[in-house]
Structure 1
Amino acid sequence: MSDQQIPDGTAETIQHVIDNQHGYLAWLGMRVDTVSYGEISLTIPFDDKFTNPTDPPTIHGGVAASLIDTAGGLALRTTLANPLEDTLATVNLNVNYLRRASAALTAHAEVVRTGSSVGWADITVESETPDGETTEVATGQAAFRLFQS
């Protein structure tokens, strides 16, 4: 997205916050895969506790929605002047479910725009199919109110 850099160790810092300060995201087992200015990739591993009672089991759509919301917000944080001090709140979340998922979910978020009071991100969620291919299972768009100092 940009030539702007983020500090070394940003992925580790985000992971530390997820693991130690955000019970819900830690319960989901969310992991930071990659992070750069205006972009992030996060994964939630497959766990039976996230599945619908179908045969074969499929991941509940709320897990993908949580991943879309979180990835969008964290991607936006990387564009803020004070990403650890400034805050944001979701004002709109749109999730489009494309197909069932029955494996780990990985979201790729990219910031579309960071304004003075509102930011927007596009997010794609992928999962592995039973035959070993990776495919899109959901897309999303999220808008956030930015509280910048």
Structure 2
Amino acid sequence: MCVPHDETLTNPARNGCNSAHGDVASTLVDTASAFAVRTASEKSDAVGLATIQNSVASLGSGVGDLIGIATVIRAGGHVGVTRVPVESETPTGEGHPVATGMTNARLFRDG
């Protein structure tokens, strides 16, 4: 999942390097996790969820688009767990770690 860089979501810096606010990465982790856990189920449209815990550690500044790819660690009957590394593209085109997150969600399955 990608959050395009947007100046309105940055922390202004004196050096002109406006990095994304940390809560943008946190929201990305939570949202990517929700989609990943839902798609891990055979009937993804029949799975509701609520985030129990969203833990995000900041690793660096994100000055470009933020990209997070969620990996489902566990999608059991009632709880789903994901891990999401978040990267940002540097001006030289390289991936730069911005944050790493882990989310636990309560799953609500129909039937």
The answer to whether TM tops 0.5 is yes
Does residue 70 of structure 2 align to residue 73 of structure 1?
Answer: no
Q: C-alpha root-mean-square deviation of aligned residues, in Å? A: 1.0
What TM-score results when the alignment is normalised by the length of structure 2? Answer: 0.92
Structure 1 residue 79: Cα displacement: 1.4
Q: Percent identity?
A: 40
Does residue 51 of structure 2 align to residue 90 of structure 1?
Answer: yes
Q: Is the 8 A contact 1:97 1:138 kept in 2?
A: yes
Structure 1 residue 51: Cα displacement: 0.7
Structure 1 residue 91: Cα displacement: 0.1
State the match for 2:108 in structure 1. 147
State the match for 1:47 in structure 2. 6
* Consecutive aligned runs of 4 or more in structure 1 exceeding 2 Å deviation: none
CA distance in 1, matches of 2:47, 2:72: 16
* Bigger strand fraction: 2
Q: Is the 8 A contact 1:90 1:144 kept in 2?
A: yes
My pick for the range that moved more, 111-120 or 127-136, is 127-136
Gaps in structure 1 of 5+ consecutive residues = 1-41
Does residue 90 of structure 2 align to residue 120 of structure 1?
Answer: no
Q: Is the 8 A contact 1:80 1:148 kept in 2?
A: no
CA distance in 2, matches of 1:59, 1:119: 28
Summarize deviations over 1:101-148 as a string: whole Å, max 9, x none.
Answer: 111000011100011100100101111113321121110000000001
RCO greater where, 1 or 2, for CA within 8 Å and sep 6 or more? 2
Q: Is the 8 A contact 1:89 1:146 kept in 2?
A: yes
